[in-house]
Amino acid sequence: MKVAVIGGGPAGYVAALFLRRLGAEVLLIERQELGGTCLNKGCIPTKTIIHCLSLLEKIKTQNFIKETSFQNFSLDFQELMQKKDSIVETQKKGLLILLKQAGVKIIKAEAELINPKTVFLKNTSEKIYPDKIIIATGSKPARLPMLDFDGKKILSSDDLWELKKIPQSIIIIGAGAIGCEFAWIFHLLGSKVTLIELMPRVLPMEDEDVSKEIEKLFKKRKIEFYTSVSIKNLRSFDDSVEITLSNGKTLTSEVVLVSIGRSFNTECIKTSEIKLGNKNEIIVNEKMQTNIENIFAAGDVTGNWLLAHVAYKEGEIAAKNAMGDNKKMDYSVIPLTIFTVTEVASVGLKEKEAIQKGLSIKKGVFPFRANGKAHIVGEIDGFVKIIADKDSETIIGAHIVGPTASELIHELTVAVKHRIRISDLDDLIHSHPTLSECIGEAIKDFSDEAIHKIR
Amino acid sequence: MSLENYKFHREHTWVKLSGKSKKVKVGITDYAQESLGDIIYIELPEIDTHVEADTEMAEIESTKTSSPVIAPVSGTIVEVNEELIDHPEIINEDPYGKGWIAVIEMDNPEELEDLMDYEDYESYLEEER
């Protein structure tokens, strides 16, 4: 069996590795860099930058460090970018070794699907005829209808990596995960940051309490934000951009980041036989199969969740099914993480969502500031909020804002996935002193036994 | 200090009367600041916003907990204590004086009748404990 995988990002390379394990001959076609957006322009580089900037800030704000030795510490932006590049390179080399060891044939080319059986490689004008095809071509930053990226002042999250110096000021359009992460990054870099959001709150896809906490943190850090506003007018000058908002306010900045969502890379599909949705995403069934039997799709291009860890799973499912299996993709329990400096993580149902579903719920909440380890690490903002179904007493959702939220969420992911009862976790002993104790206390809060919570 | 001109809300906030003026200073009580512990942040209300009595008008964070500040009377915020932005600990040090939070222009001074004077507040605290 010969399988062509178009796109070497998280969905594509994972599919390629699984296909090889199942004995297929695999051609992995990538037009740019292996690892896709995640490794080259997304998850890995941004988290490197956030980690380094947070570290620097932590060092600067420790008063047990003698001022004489640390006072003059400052950021070396070029070095920071080099560190980011070197981490990306290390990861990429590792990925290349994995693929080579597995016997995946890597082709660097722009591929076009000219009919359901033929892949055309543009640079060599070669045609290949695989038995199965997996499309994992990913996504790119969406642009505003009235506002195209110019790579200089109107920037996408991809363009940011080309910045040679730190802008004095930046307006970020869209306060979703990407917008909020970059708001922190630029704030820590010393830029004046203003976020604008069409919806009534920042991180509109998260639980309302999460948005409220992050908005409070923005206020504390003097990161300006405007919600429920749209852009009335935008004027671009030589060295600045001026934006007029629907509330009448006029903002000026050196650059603008547009982070309003992603659009899907389906331009490689040159046949009308493959069904696309109204956002230009590839429509797949729960087996990750398109309307054409031998063609599968996985990752961002399917328009589902746009998360690397979901893409991994979709790539695996697509590969297994391409090889004759009958696996189904389950989207019901997916942890979401946002790497703002105070991290956000969630899994399962939000409070409002559960109520809208007609469930009667109860909540267990515990603030990090009542936890000893949070004080030790110097990050006391945020909370753990757990949502349970009142009737069955099972845990159906969890929302964390706080230190290492992205790691802490996984205990509760197990709970939501396996519909664990409150009483099962109530007995669990959490190690001391740890941030995880906040999960134990939030569970105890269901029975009003969160004894470390000051009321 | 004399708390003769002060009226108290059961959610541990106070109003300081000055003559017949509809504009009154509000803050949290000594008991409230002591229960909160070291105050490290206050989210002040915005000037010109309207607050309803018995609802949240500000939020205070201490090293150990966070708590809403409940408006003792309804009205419009006409002034906030900006000193608190950089020095929220003033509330711990002087809750009835320099630690005032905002000035509210009352909608209806009759609401004051629902509040307690200091003696009543003290016995209310006794009961609470």
pLDDT in tens, B74-96: 999 999 999 999 999 999 999 99
The percent of chain B in helix, strand and coil, each rounded to the nearest 5, is: 25, 35, 40
Q: What is the mean pLDDT of residues B3-17?
A: 96
User: Which residues from chain B sit within 8 angstroms of residue A221, using beta carbons?
Assistant: none
Q: What is the 3-state secondary structure (H, E, C) of A33-99?
A: CCCHHHHHCCHHHHHHHHHHHHHHHHHHCCCCCCHHHHCCCCCCHHHHHHHHHHHHHHHHHHHHHHH
**Distance from the B114 Cα atom to the nearest Cα atom in chain A, whole angstroms:** 25
Mutate to test the interface with B, among A213, A214, A216, A366 (most CBs of B within 10 A): A216
Closest Cβ opposite residue B65 in set A216, A219, A454 = A454
**Cβ atoms of residues A178 and A157 within 8 Å:** yes
pLDDT score of A274: 96
A222 shares contact with chain B (CB less than 8 Å): no
CB B67 within 8 A of CB B59: yes
Lookup: tokens for B41: 């942040």
pLDDT number for residue A69: 59
d(CA A415, CA A386): 10
Question: Peptide bond preceding A10: is omega within 30 degrees of 0, i.e. cis?
Answer: no
Are A441 and A434 in contact, with CB atoms under 8 Å apart? no
Q: Per-residue pLDDT for chain A (455 aa), expressed as one digit of tens each?
A: 999 999 999 999 999 999 999 999 999 999 999 999 999 999 999 999 999 999 988 888 877 876 655 556 788 999 999 999 999 999 999 999 999 999 999 999 999 999 999 999 999 999 999 999 999 999 999 998 878 899 899 999 999 998 989 999 999 999 999 999 999 999 999 999 999 999 999 999 999 999 999 999 999 999 999 999 999 999 989 899 999 999 999 999 999 999 999 999 999 999 999 999 999 999 999 999 999 999 999 999 999 999 999 999 999 999 999 999 999 999 999 999 999 989 999 999 999 999 999 999 999 999 999 999 999 999 999 999 999 999 999 999 999 999 999 999 999 999 999 999 999 999 899 999 999 999 999 999 999 888 887 77
A455–B contact, CB cutoff 8 A = yes
H helix count then E strand count, chain B: 4, 9
Query: What distance in Å separates residue B58's CA from the closest CA in chain A?
Result: 12
Min CA distance, A163 vs chain B (Å)?
Answer: 34
| A232 and A245 Cβ atoms separated by less than 8 Å | yes
Cβ neighbour number for residue A277 with a 10 Å cutoff: 13
Compute the nearest-CA separation of B7 from chain A (Å).
Answer: 23
Sign of CA dihedral A225, A229, A230, A233: negative
| Chain B residues within 8 A of A366 when measuring between CB atoms | none
Closest CA to A346 of A408, A436, A404, A409: A409
What DSSP character marks residue A235?
E
- Test A220 with B64 for CB contact under 8 angstroms: no
CB-CB under 8 Å, B43 with A370? no
Determine if the pTM surpasses 0.95.
no
Q: What is the pLDDT of residue A70?
A: 56
Question: In chain A, which residues have their Cβ closer than 8 Å to the Cβ of B62?
Answer: 369
Chain B residues at the A interface, defined by Cβ less than 8 Å, are 35-37, 41, 43, 59, 61-66
Using the Cβ of A47 and the Cβ atoms of chain B, whether some distance falls under 8 Å is answered with no
* The pLDDT value given to residue A148: 87
Distance CA B116, CA B104 (A): 18
A432 is catalytic: yes
Size of interface A-B (CB pairs under 8 A): 23
H-helix or E-strand spanning residue A133 = strand A132-135
H helix intervals, A366-449: 372-377, 405-417, 422-426, 437-445
Describe chain A by its helix, strand, coil percentages, rounded to 5. 35, 25, 40
Predicted confidence (pLDDT) per residue in A216-234, tens digit: 999 999 999 999 999 999 9
Sheet with strand A25-30: strands edge to edge = A105-108, A25-30, A2-6, A132-135, A295-297
Of A49, A20, A22, A16, nearest to A34 (Cα)? A16
Cβ separation of B65 and A455 shorter than 8 Å?
Answer: yes
Any CB–CB contact under 8 A between A382 and chain B? no
Closest to B41 (Cβ–Cβ): which among A220, A453, A455? A220
The predicted structure's pLDDT at residue A319: 98
3-class secondary structure per residue, A158-189:
CHHHHCCCCCCEEEEECCCHHHHHHHHHHHHH
Contact between B65 and A380 using a beta-carbon 8 Å cutoff: no
Which of B12, B46, B61, B62 would you mutate first to test chain A, the one with the most A CBs within 10 A? Answer: B61
Residue B101: closest CA among B73, B63, B129: B73
Interacting residues of A48 by C-beta distance below 8 A, sequence separation 6+: A83, A84, A87, A88
Residue of B59, B64, B65, B84 to mutate for A, most A C-beta atoms under 10 A: B64
